[in-house]
Structure 1
Amino acid sequence: MGFLARVLFVVLSLGTAVIYQNYKNISRPIPPPAFDVNAYWGPGPASAYKEDPSIKPFSIKYTEAANELKQQLARPLKLHAPLEDVNFEYGFNTKALRNVIAYWRDNYLTRWSEREQFLNKFPQFTTQIQGLKIHYIHVKPSNPGKKKVVPLLLIHGWPGSVREFYELIPMLTTPSKDHDYVFEVIAPSLVGYGWSQGSSKKNFGPLEMSVVFRNLMLRVGHKKFLIQGGDWGSVIGSNLATLFPENSIGYHSNLCFTNSILANIKSIMTNIYPSLFLEKHQEEFHVPSLDKFYNLLEESGYFHIQATKPDTIGTALLNNPVGLAAYILEKFSTWTNLQYRKLPDGGLTKKFSMDALLDNVMIYYLSDSITTSQRLYAEQYAQNQRDMQMDRVATTTPYGCARFRHDLAHATDWQLKEKYENLVHSTYHNDGGHFIALESPKVLYEDFVEFVKKVVT
């Protein structure tokens, strides 16, 4: 072997060794971060706090506030006319917004007592955990008969609320002749959302919220339970299933992703050679990723604002019902189907009733929770949360992924297995968007039950 050949051999050998070592480093799971299961997040010093473990009934009652809101919406609307030939491409079309406000004022709010009764249809409670008042819905199945009753923690996201689950909960808690399982549902408002008190201290992110919700489940009497979530619910649910496998029977998500370096490398490889890693019907969910990235970039301006200056945008929306409705409902348009941007009304009532959409807006408005809800973005992307590297902490809890065609992002099984070592359920649905529990509760229910059959014995 000549001198140059020997040098080349050595260089290639060293390069291969470096690549292999780096691969081992980025693919090796890391241990869970240290955390305090009793950390105090309320106002003032922890030394002055004594937790009240009692559980108190809760109901929504806002007659005076609803009347004041109706008067506020009766004021002349000062809105810029949309550009010619523009629908929802620039955001919420103001012609469509006038129609929404008119319906809200002249129809919905005239029936507020009816809507209030609807929002109170399920038993609701509050309890104090780690210095925070936590609000939750708790529905036990009536007459389960011989069906196996399994506790279920149901977790929503932003800009949703527990209202997303009102059509799903009866399916989960009513015995079905087609399935052996029925569920006892605990659906909390996220910390800082609705009537769950926001943290008074920095560094309360999705990991810390997963601890609170695990403690909530223990409070209501369940040491082991199922978890289901989308949006922030998928992040919180993932953290809970990862950090507390001893409490988690299984975790099912309708927004499936992982953001490790190796998972992102796999995404690139999948886009270069999709036929090697995907079945034909799966390709449209994942490729071409560049187009999907551009769409995500176009739709994520809110994300950057809320991850950097949540209190500024929160101040702009607080006590501003017209702005609040536009800001929230625009997401129910584009996140349900990006093609709805081309429609004059944003396609809002193609999949949802206007009453359901306004119920959700009312929860944010009446509870003054828009600012505290948006702080979760800033906390998730703060340095302390990034340092925890939760995407590199292996999840051993059985995991199920349900993908819906028009959701914001999707990960392949190949990517997900970098984190979720026990991926037991993976499905693709050719319709449906981000708010699937509200859009197609029956489809989500059936997918979830199929997952449960694989993990509950």
Structure 2
Amino acid sequence: MLENKRRKFDTYKRAPRVKSLKDTSEYGINSDVLGQIFGNWQFKYKYPERVRYFNQYEHYKTNVQGLDIHYMHVKPKKSNVKVIPLLLLHGWPTSIKEFYESVPLLTTTRPGYDFVFELIVPSLPGFGFSQGPVRRGLTTYQIAIVMRNLMERLGHKQFYVHGGNLGHNIGTHMATLFPNQVLGFHTTFPVNFSKIADWLWVIGSLWPTLVSNEFVDRMYPLSEKLAYYLEEFGYLHLQATKPDSIGIALQDSPVGLCAYINDRILSLTDPSNKLREDGGLSNYNTTDLVDNVMVYWSTGSITTALRLYKEISANQDMEDVLAQIPSPVPTWALRPKHEIYHSPDFVLRWKYPNLLGITNLDEGGHYLAFEKPGAFSDDIFKAVDSFLKFKNK
């Protein structure tokens, strides 16, 4: 694998390259920004050291419904308080790496709380170290069943769930399908995906009083938001229609894979990043970004990961049905300032009638656990404390 990467790097260095336009990432990731990430990967990235870093936590595989599912299982080293099982679900194009800096924060006791977390952090099917399906049909609500079965396999009949990005979709389905097992749901992507929520978004452009004044700019003007989605979401159409075509190209080029993945991470962290000279790279450690790319490159999993978007599109009718069903599970929303969608509080409560709290941040973007592990971990503790008090009422 390392020799193959070295040969690919050599080919990339010899090939003619076109530099990006100066000081902008509006055309995609800027070549100078990519050069900083690639330079770290090529010259500074110490593979044996990073392997030790990844292996600081225990990794396992188990077969669930015919698929070999990889997961990290981290228990608190010492605890004289209650231990809470928490399932952490990543999205795309992140991986289990998204939660690495949060693990010690969540498995260490802290003042003011009488509990600590036992973490189960799986690679989604087809992502990273988890096996992908060989037949069509595995979409997010079916992955929700796989994740429930994984937790039962580990002895947890009841547990808590966090999800962001695709992990939000899966976690929401778990809270909808298994309300007696999911004791609480925490999300950093608090969105109601029902059709009526979409209509209210349009109606709210005519009657903006439907939205709290402090959040109007996160939803409107409607024309600007639609233009933003058209500009940024081209990848969704590509992945929902021809995932194998783009996947084959990306798996053949570590530099192309690095560019594609990090363009999404940097762009969706803050829309203004595309106007910044560094493209938003200052929000992240470049080694962390390379670690995340390495999960996909070393496992050859980019194509199977992209296929999930095709499956979601092909099974949209069932996704829509589940989106209409309220979940009674206690829920907590952590809203980053630059989240790509904003659902008003009352719209969220249609889906999550027991929405116990919302934390509104004045910073952060779509991959909050990756970008701001401290703020993310603090909110997890606050949310679960609220869940426990709600349960004991």
Q: TM-score range by the shorter chain?
A: over 0.9
Which residue of 319, 331, 335 corresponds with 2:268?
335
Residue 26 (structure 1) aligns with: none
Looking at structure 2, the residues matched to 83 and 443 of structure 1 have their Cα atoms a distance apart, in angstroms, of: 34
**Root-mean-square deviation (CA), in Å?**
1.7
- Mapped to 1, the partners of 2:319 and 2:372 lie a distance apart of 37
What is the one-letter code of the residue matched to 1:230?
G
2:350 aligns to what SS in structure 1? coil
- CA contact 2:69–2:123 (8 Å) conserved in 1: yes
Which of 277, 283, 289 aligns to 2:216? It is 283
Task: Tell me how far apart the structure 2 counterparts of residues 71 and 164 of structure 1 sit (CA, whole Å).
Answer: 28
Q: Is residue 257 of structure 2 the alignment partner of residue 320 of structure 1?
A: no
Q: Write the distance in 2 (CA, Å) between the matches of 1:268 and 1:206.
A: 27
Q: SS state of the match for residue 269, structure 2?
A: coil
Where does 1:83-94 land on structure 2 (aligned, <5 Å)?
84-85=21-22, 87-94=24-31
Residue 104 of structure 1 deviates from its aligned partner by 1.1
Q: CA deviation at 1:279?
A: 3.4
Aligned-residue identity in percent = 37
Q: What is the CA deviation profile of residues 168-213 of structure 1, one whole-angstrom value per residue up to 9, with x for unaligned ones? A: 1111111111322211100100100001000111110001100000
1:107 counterpart = 2:40: no
* Structure ID, larger Rg: 1
Question: What is the aligned length?
Answer: 388
Query: Is contact 1:229-1:253 (8 Å) kept?
Result: yes
1:17-58 alpha-carbon deviations (Å, 9 max, x no partner): xxxxxxxxxxxxxxxxxxxxxxxxxxxxxxxxxxxxxxxxxx
Q: Is it true that 1:119 corresponds to 2:54 in the alignment?
A: yes
Q: Which amino acid aligns with 1:200?
A: V
- Relative to structure 1, the CA distance from residue 302 to residue 384 in structure 2 (aligned partners, 3 Å threshold; closer, same or farther) is closer
* Partner SS for 1:258: coil
The 2-side partners of 1:217 and 1:244 are apart by: 12
2:296 pairs with 1:360: no
Match of 2:63 among 128, 142, 146: 128
Residues 80 and 94 of structure 1 are in contact (CA less than 8 Å); yes or no, is this contact kept in structure 2?
Answer: no
1:219-230 aligned at under 5 Å gives the runs 219-230=153-164
**Offset from partner CA, 1:309-364 (integer Å, 9 cap, x none):** 1111111111310110000011121111111111333122x111010000000000
Cα distance in 2 for partners of 1:443, 1:284 equals 23
TM-score normalised by the chain length of structure 2: 0.94
Give the partner amino acid of 1:78.
A
- Measured in 2, the distance between the counterparts of 1:183 and 1:69 equals 37
In 1, the alpha carbon distance for the partners of 2:366 and 2:190 equals 11
SS at match of 1:303: helix
Does the alignment pair 1:185 with 2:122?
A: no
Aligned-partner SS, 1:402? strand
In the superposition, relative to structure 1, how do residues 113 and 395 fare at CA in structure 2: closer, same or farther (>3 Å)? Answer: same
Taking the TM superposition and a 5 Å limit, the aligned residue runs for 1:246-265 are 246-265=180-199
- List structure 1 runs of 4+ shifted beyond 6 angstroms: none
Instruction: State the TM-score, normalizing by the size of structure 1.
Output: 0.81
Alignment check: 8 A CA contact 1:205 1:385 kept: no
Tell me the SS of whatever aligns to 2:326.
Answer: coil
Which ranges of structure 1 fall in alignment gaps of 5 or more residues? 1-64
Q: Do structure 1's residue 140 and structure 2's residue 72 form an aligned pair?
A: no
Structure-2 residue corresponding to 1:81 = 18
Partner amino acid for 2:328? Answer: T
Shift of 1:386: 4.0
Is 2:369 the counterpart of 1:433?
Answer: no
Q: Does 1:373 align with 2:305?
A: yes
Structure 2 unmatched runs, 5+ = none
**Paired residues of 2:212 and 2:344 also in contact (CA < 8 A):** no
